Amino acid sequence: HKQTPIIMLTAKGEETNRVEGFESGADDYIVKPFSPREVVLRVKALLRRTQSTTVDQSEPHARDIIEFKHLKIDNDAHRVLADNEEVNLTPKEYELLIYLAKTPNKVFDREQLLKEVWHYEFYGDLRTVDTHVKRLREKLNRVSHDAAQMIQTVWGVGYKFEVNANDEPTK
């Protein structure tokens, strides 16, 4: 299922193995030896971040939707539409897109994105962020070149979700 989080449990702890794991779509990477308690806590944390909150259907509520000219993110349905066509994203790509889109035109460095989207400090290769941004752009670009171009690289700094005045979010 496209929203199912992926945790890699492995004996391969070299940096290249971890980077390869994240690049292949893992949301977390745990190296042996690990305690069962740590695994349970990581699973709970990952589920907390990826599961949509349940709302009492008897109560009307405003939908959590961020909408731009070429991109619509429906957080309640966990769907992304680029030029009205659905884009299938991994949970981490979706979280990255939401994080950037909620603060248009703000530049985030890779360390900030790892801390806020991956929810941990990372003192190694920051390529996992670059890889996820690249894949996110590729998936958006298959449907809408304009939507893909909203994710901009700020050379030497990081990334931003660029929105022009005529593209401001409607919610």
Residue in the structure block whose two tokens are 């259907």: 57
Task: Give tens-digit pLDDT for 56-94.
Answer: 444 455 668 888 889 999 988 889 999 999 999 988 899
Residue 143: what pLDDT? 93
Task: Give tens-digit pLDDT for 98-133.
Answer: 999 999 999 999 988 988 888 776 665 678 899 999
Task: Enumerate domains of the chain plus CATH numbers.
Answer: 7-52 (3.40.50.2300), 65-161 (1.10.10.10)
Residue 4: CB atoms within 10 A of its CB come to: 9
d(CA 139, CA 82): 10
> What pTM, to 2 d.p., does this model score?
0.65
